[in-house]
Structure 1
């Protein structure tokens, strides 16, 4: 294993050197990883980003566009022949049709290449012609990113931490009962392992519906062609002091290690380790709506993700990257259009507070991080209504029915987010069951009917500023 790790590290360094040399003599490439935690709108983000880079009238916050230096933008075939193409045209069609609807979520890795012709700035602008910068967008499920937190854990550590969290969750009662029944099993058969894994997967599905973010292992919810394989047929069990060599606990441990080495690690090696910039989309409003425990779970989950980048320890990711690193990471609280603009600053502050502890601990060895509130596609308009003699800043849009159809127009006042994030994070850390000083409502809106002028991409909130942070320095 040691020799294999050394060989893999050498291969990573050779590849990094090759990418550096290619960048000198060929067109520069930015590899942007895009992922999102549950219901954060990842597909919509990528679709709107590409549409607004192709038609840039709504991108004044992108400095190269504001300076008039982007001469053209166009799509090209992605460089990885074995990775499916992100279905941009179909997703854009869903958003811009006469009866628009949210596009289907992607369930595996996909990629898209957008090329930009950019004129140099400063004195070089008059001496050199435009250069081409390729933006390779790598789309992958957020559940897979959560597996970063597993890679440095043993099965015993993961089981103990998971069962401790589940003890306070009503949705986990069925699985916890099943796990207790399998504790100490020396004799077992495959149907026992499958029943335990099904019970744990059912809990993960219920947890996702309840707004929780820690849904590891990530492939249990998106198994694809691996459904039913031993590497995806395990679950946490109470730690045993001296488990039997051929008992169920040992078999669960073996399958956990197989999942890390044969499922999770190849993804990080083949895709994540080649990413230059990363955006993590977060449905912070959804977690706030679900209550303090969902917010605390979100905070811990973001900490686990960031903790994988912590320098000064021989972590899995440190060994894998071997000199290659993610240079910038953006944490974006999506669905800012569900709030009046007067509350966007509070949402940004909450997002920054959610990741601050982890950022301070990790310090990222030079990586730059930022948190902001965005809406990839604006689905609402703002209006102020009078209620019991006082004005309420509301948003109005077309409601989205449970079956995905478009409903009636409605106005929503989601509640007033606190300017001090501690008013949310402190009750969350304390494990409160509900907010003590307010309620935060959330409606589901369908996309608005778009009437775009030539040169315009879909309307958004701060997508241009997010783009400037992620790639502006390379343009």
Structure 2
């Protein structure tokens, strides 16, 4: 019976891969990486994308998405997943949050989810138009905890390099007050002693509590290992019970250091690598969502850390032009959109500045991608609009403000956002009072419809060339 089940699963996997390969060879299957760290808005983006394409695909709503503006999109609908071992993205639950009478943001993702959207359209040109007047493209989307994305750079590190980088981060001025308790315990730990399971467990729990505190109190992205924050079925397993220690000149067998090193390597090979191979090796296009405003709220150290985290994660993906054979057997990402999300938390005239700031944060990564033949763009978007622009007369002066319902409050507020920088600031250039950008609930839907800021621009860049 067991052999029969394994065979059936293998057949289903082969069937799914064969169908994907066929669609990929015909340029009919697009695997879009919706990437971003925790809190960047991945779940809301996927929900909004499905909602706008399935029930709000009008020229008025998506004027910069060519297939819609030209009236060629016939329909879009969610289709069943072929990957039967991966949960389907719960679009109904997520959209119910956004469409409620008192809308809220969808719950953060706690596991891998996937969703496939079929887009049927009238062909305009190319080989498809000679074969059939209509065509269907399958858009595959993956949603996952942002905490797990932060683990991917660990694949290129050994335990010593990871420990050094992590301890350096924890001892920065902005985070040392949170880290003091763990660092004090670590100072009493002797890595050269024989393995004491209880001592390792206690320190691992202290480190896990530190990561949880940093997640709740800061906007740090590189909180590793990410599974400590969302352990799922690994809760309590020794593979998660490791933490950074100062490097040793000599490593002795059967010591606590060697045990931590072994757990770190096991975590990479048994947890991070399968996650990477299954979900991050065959993307065609990539969207990178960044919560720039929250990083500014946290201060210069966090903005710098976000910049470092972006650089580290971008090194993990395969980029470059994909011809027919490469696309079929070894696909690479040939378009990347970097998006400063939640842009309507500032005024329309300020949104260009946060896009410029994000572009400056990318630095050499953007240049390297272009050199590899990748199309790169950065823009400010809000996949789900949460505020309205509002002009306020103050003693004869017109002030550009935003109007929305602040998170955690009941009343709507007219708010004058601070001026965001349009480039990375050094600690010396940072304003004495810092930045204080507010966060808002989603705007209430009108007649069941969501609003957005530049979602159509994002769609056109990411998949517009596949729908001709």
Name the CA distance, whole Å, in 1 between partners of 2:140 and 2:17: 19
Deviation at residue 336 of structure 1 after TM alignment: 0.6
- SS of the residue aligned with 2:84? coil
Aligned to 1:11: none
Name the CA distance, whole Å, in 2 between partners of 1:65 and 1:396: 30
Aligned to 1:8: none
Aligned to 1:445: 440
- Going from structure 1 to structure 2, the CA distance change for 1:223 and 1:354 (only over 3 Å counts) comes to same
Aligned to 2:230: 222
Residue of 442, 457, 465 corresponding to 1:465: 457
Contact map agreement 2:407 2:439 (CA 8 A) in 1: yes
Name the CA distance, whole Å, in 2 between partners of 1:258 and 1:25: 36
Name the CA distance, whole Å, in 1 between partners of 2:191 and 2:131: 75
Unaligned runs of 5+ in 1: 1-13, 313-320
Aligned to 2:5: none
Aligned to 2:151: 147
Aligned to 1:30: 30
- SS of the residue aligned with 2:365? helix
Contact map agreement 1:415 1:439 (CA 8 A) in 2: no
Residue of 133, 143, 146 corresponding to 2:137: 133
Aligned to 1:158: 162
Aligned to 2:48: 48
Instruction: Answer yes or no: is 1:173 the counterpart of 2:180.
Output: yes
Aligned to 2:323: none
Aligned to 2:399: 392
Shifted more, 166-175 versus 47-56: the winner is 166-175
Shifted more, 460-469 versus 257-266: the winner is 460-469
Name the CA distance, whole Å, in 2 between partners of 1:159 and 1:128: 57
Deviation at residue 35 of structure 1 after TM alignment: 2.8
Deviation at residue 189 of structure 1 after TM alignment: 1.5
Deviation at residue 240 of structure 1 after TM alignment: 0.6
Instruction: Answer yes or no: is 1:74 the counterpart of 2:77.
Output: yes
Aligned to 1:84: 87
Equivalent pairs, count: 439
Name the CA distance, whole Å, in 1 between partners of 2:30 and 2:376: 17
- Going from structure 1 to structure 2, the CA distance change for 1:56 and 1:347 (only over 3 Å counts) comes to same
- SS of the residue aligned with 1:222? coil
Deviation at residue 254 of structure 1 after TM alignment: 0.4
Runs of 4+ in 1 over 6 A off after TM superposition: 14-17, 24-27
Aligned to 2:8: none
Name the CA distance, whole Å, in 1 between partners of 2:266 and 2:131: 56
Deviation at residue 440 of structure 1 after TM alignment: 2.0
- SS of the residue aligned with 1:391? strand
Name the CA distance, whole Å, in 1 between partners of 2:253 and 2:200: 16
- SS of the residue aligned with 1:75? strand
Instruction: Answer yes or no: is 1:407 the counterpart of 2:410.
Output: yes
- SS of the residue aligned with 1:261? helix
- Going from structure 1 to structure 2, the CA distance change for 1:275 and 1:21 (only over 3 Å counts) comes to closer
- SS of the residue aligned with 2:163? helix
Name the CA distance, whole Å, in 2 between partners of 1:444 and 1:266: 35
CA deviations over 1:409-447 (Å, ceiling 9, x no partner) = 11122201234x04x2x33xxxx5x92366322222112
Deviation at residue 260 of structure 1 after TM alignment: 0.4
Name the CA distance, whole Å, in 2 between partners of 1:274 and 1:364: 21
- Going from structure 1 to structure 2, the CA distance change for 1:159 and 1:37 (only over 3 Å counts) comes to same
- Going from structure 1 to structure 2, the CA distance change for 1:365 and 1:17 (only over 3 Å counts) comes to farther
Shifted more, 342-351 versus 409-418: the winner is 409-418
Shifted more, 88-97 versus 388-397: the winner is 388-397
Shifted more, 357-366 versus 332-341: the winner is 357-366
Name the CA distance, whole Å, in 2 between partners of 1:257 and 1:322: 29
Contact map agreement 1:310 1:361 (CA 8 A) in 2: no
Name the CA distance, whole Å, in 2 between partners of 1:390 and 1:473: 45
- SS of the residue aligned with 2:372? helix
- SS of the residue aligned with 1:273? coil
Deviation at residue 15 of structure 1 after TM alignment: 12
Aligned to 1:232: 240
Deviation at residue 364 of structure 1 after TM alignment: 6.9
TM-score by length of 1: 0.86
TM-score by length of 2: 0.87
Contact map agreement 1:110 1:140 (CA 8 A) in 2: yes
- Going from structure 1 to structure 2, the CA distance change for 1:21 and 1:161 (only over 3 Å counts) comes to closer
Name the CA distance, whole Å, in 2 between partners of 1:359 and 1:150: 22
Residue of 386, 390, 411 corresponding to 1:383: 390
- SS of the residue aligned with 1:84? coil
Q: After TM superposition, list the pairs within 5 Å mapping 1:61-460 onto structure 2.
A: 61-122=64-125, 125=129, 128-168=132-172, 169-170=175-176, 171-208=178-215, 209-309=217-317, 323-361=330-368, 365-387=372-394, 390-401=397-408, 407-419=410-422, 421-422=423-424, 424=425, 426-427=426-427, 435-436=430-431, 439-452=434-447, 457-460=449-452
- Going from structure 1 to structure 2, the CA distance change for 1:411 and 1:280 (only over 3 Å counts) comes to same
Contact map agreement 1:334 1:376 (CA 8 A) in 2: yes
Deviation at residue 328 of structure 1 after TM alignment: 2.1
Contact map agreement 2:121 2:134 (CA 8 A) in 1: yes
